[in-house]
Amino acid sequence: MQNELNVVGIQADLVWENPEKNLAYFEEQIGSLPKNTDLVVLPEMFTTGFTMNPENIAEQMNGNSVLWMQKMATINKIALVGSLVIKENNTYCNRLVFVHPSGKIETYNKRHSFTLAGEDKVYTSGKKQVIVNFKGWKIKPLICYDLRFPVWTRNTDNYDLLIFMANWPVTRIKAWDTLLKARAIENISYVIGVNRTGKDANNYEYSGNSLIIDCLGEEISSLEKNETNILSATLNKTAQDLIRKKLGFLNDRDSFKIDL
């Protein structure tokens, strides 16, 4: 087990439906990171922005963007995670891809479709939760709108780190900030939330406001509004475990079953 985990989030102004330019930008940023970086988190749909036009940009799991993720992970000896549009069995999904330094891949399909934007009419909703084991840390990765649903997020697996990647608009950014802290507090877990900046083709504005939060809801690291930059922090598993043991809140959680 690795007690300390060096995590990074890359907050970026995504180029609309242009994987080539977005991959080039993220490759440059990843190449500049400290050598002790363990985990890098990218925004939701990091190759395209939050598009409802999957027929134009969808890729296969053996496509260029996933291969790029594997290359970046293995060359830089990091875990790399982000979501992108994947076509599979003649359907489209908003798929989170977690790539280990070895190139091993684990995936999660976004559970909660953002109906306000019609995501439910375009993308197939996921049915399974995923817990990634990385360097002795149990990590639960989720996507954007999942943040609003605490039952789906509930820490029934004793995970150590909760990840959210998003295209969360500036008009509702207060909810983003509040809910990230709520998820950290109620689940006694580190949380990293990585959002995009800029304006997309639909004229929606994104301010970023990415955060890394400890298990008591305190900000460890944050990026200012509209700042395109790197978010980073060193997380300590022993310190979090001591807080969990002292408070014991997770011992009192309710048991429940989710109908899928």
What are the structure tokens assigned to 6, written together? 């060096």
Q: Nearest CA to 22 among 61, 88, 62, 72?
A: 72
Contacts 24+ apart (CB under 8 A), 19-23: 19/47, 19/48, 19/57, 19/59, 19/64, 19/65, 22/46, 22/47, 22/48, 23/47, 23/64, 23/65, 23/68
Q: Compute the distance between CA of residue 151 and CA of residue 256 in angstroms, rounded to an integer.
A: 9
- Looking up tokens 């997770």 gives 250
Catalytic residue among 17, 93, 119, 144: 144
Q: Compute the distance between CA of residue 100 and CA of residue 109 in angstroms, rounded to an integer.
A: 18
Catalytic residue among 59, 93, 110, 140: 110
Residue 140 annotated as catalytic? no
Residue 144 annotated as catalytic? yes
Catalytic residue among 17, 44, 59, 106: 44
> In sequence order, which residues have a C-beta less than 8 Å from that of residue 65 and are 6 or more positions away?
19, 23, 47, 59, 84
Listed in sequence order, the DSSP H helices in 52-197 are 54-57, 64-76, 119-122, 150-153, 173-187
Residue 110 annotated as catalytic? yes
Q: Compute the distance between CA of residue 212 and CA of residue 193 in angstroms, rounded to an integer.
A: 6
Cβ atoms within 10 Å of 247's Cβ, excluding its own = 13
| Residues labelled as active-site residues | 44, 110, 144
